[in-house]
Each structure stands twice: as structure tokens, then as C-alpha cells.
Amino acid sequence: MTAPRPSPAGPSQRRVFRARVQTREAGAWTERDDAVVVEAPLEIRLRWKGGSRRLGATMRTPGHDEELAAGLLYAEGIVHHASEIRGIAHEPAPGEAQEFNSVVVDLAREPDVDWSSIERPFLMSSACGVCGRATTDYLRSTNPPALRAGEPTIDADALAALPARLRAAQEAFEATGGLHATALFTGGAEALLVREDVGRHNAFDKAVGRSLLDGSLPLAGAVGLVSGRAGYELVQKAVRAGLPILAAVGAPSTLAIDVAKEFGVTLVGFLRGDRFNVYAGRDRLR
């Protein structure tokens, strides 16, 4: 496939906005500039020879839009390999003057999917992205990569140190305090990539999308860390990406634990300081 075209520079691609705010502290009012994370809609459209579809729109933080689109398509089972994507580019939607908030994904062929269960005719929130199916039946039908038991492994102390490394790499979070992040590390705790977004699902999809476009899927030797909680959707995305270890600074849900156990994912929650809980896959921690 052709390499995704870099996002055009412009106001709509800013990740941080300076807002004038009034602050009351210790009984006194002050006025100052404050850094606020940008949240803006992104429309995703699909195109192939002889046809096209509008997948939907999601609220996101501008930047890495091509990766977000690729990650969403992979998570939804619309594409399974980078070779199915010929290119991704920012293009204005019909009747839309602002091109930065719309991407078109050119596909090698029409996807063999049930469009009625995929298309979202309304705006999705950044907390969800273009959320996937709510059952494990569909996840099994996508034939996700098989995970090897006990591989890779990571030292428990090294795992406990990952949140600090993630925070140090979150440039926009340091400025705004309003972004989620997903990081991928090696089993030796070396950072592979970090992606940020106002939506935690979007940050995860950006990381997976980058890996898809780089030909790095499945993520068989990687450790994933998310800055929020580990719900079903994130574990589902980890399964699809072949990610064997998923850690979160927040809590998991019951369905997330069930999915992790069924598909062999090591699931860690409440990773804070030197303490964490292992909900599935203890054999990968040493």
C-alpha cells in the first residue's frame, strides 16, 4: 500500500488549544490562559473499485487520523491485513469545506462484511470510537491470532514501572491533563510507541493502526498499557491485535476478565506504584 499522507498542517489539526479561563482560588479570582485538549469529529469513508461506504464519524483528538482509521477497520473486522488498504488520505466530505476532519480509506476490494451491523449513521463519542460488537461470538468469528501460553514474559517490577514511563511520554497530557494514552512495550519494558487521544478507545486504535500499517501485527511479543480502565472493548481490541499482555491503571470489567480468560490474554488492573492485580494470565509475569 502507499504510505499514508501526513496530516495537513492547520488549526483543525491542533491537539492543544489555549483557552482564557477565570480561576477562583483562596477566595480570589484570577484570569489566565489554560491548555485544553482539542476534541473534533472525524468522518471515515471507505472506497473501492465500483463502490464506497460511509463508515461513520467519531470524536477524537486530531493527529494520527490515518492510524485511527486503520485501527478501527481492523478492530471491526473490515480489514485483516495492511495489503487490503491501498491508501488513506484526508479528503473533504461531500459538501464539506474543511478537509482535515474527513479521511477516505481506499481498499483493494469490497469487504465481505454485514454492513448493517457496522455502519453508524450518527456521531460516536470519543469514549467509544466506532465501537465494536458486544458479543464474543463475533470476536471468535474473526479468527484472531492464537496467543502462546506463557509468552512473552515480563518482570513484575518492570511492569510496575511502566505507568511512569507512559506518563513521561505523554506530551499533550502534560500540557492539558485531558488525554488518554496507549503504549506498547517490549517484554523487556522498552517503549515501542505511545499514542494519545481524548478517547481511550481511539488511543488504542491509533496504536494498533500504526502497527497494522507497519506490518507489525500480530503484537505477539508486546505488552500494552492503557491509561484508564480496561473494559471489554479494549480487551477485544487486544485479542484482535494478538496482544498477549494488557495492563491498565484502572479497573477491568467482568466481561473484560471473561474475554481475557477465554482468549488467553494476561489482564492486569490497578497498576499503580508497586501494586497491581492480575485477573487472568498470571503465567506471563515473573
Q: Which residues are catalytic?
A: 128
Q: What residues contact residue 283 under an 8 Å CB cut-off, 6+ apart?
A: 149, 150, 266
Query: Exposed, middle or buried by CB within 10 Å (0-12, 13-18, 19+), for 248?
Result: buried
H-helix segments, 60-189: 65-75, 136-141, 156-160, 162-169, 171-176
- Which helix (H) or strand (E) segment holds residue 257: the answer is helix 254-263
Radius of gyration of the chain (CA): 19
- The answer to whether the CB of 43 falls within 8 A of the CB of 120 is no
Collapsing DSSP states into helix, strand and coil, what is residue 199?
coil
Backbone region of residue 20 per phi and psi (left: phi > 0; alpha: psi in -120 to 50; beta: other values)? beta
Contacts of 25 (CB under 8 A, 6+ apart): none
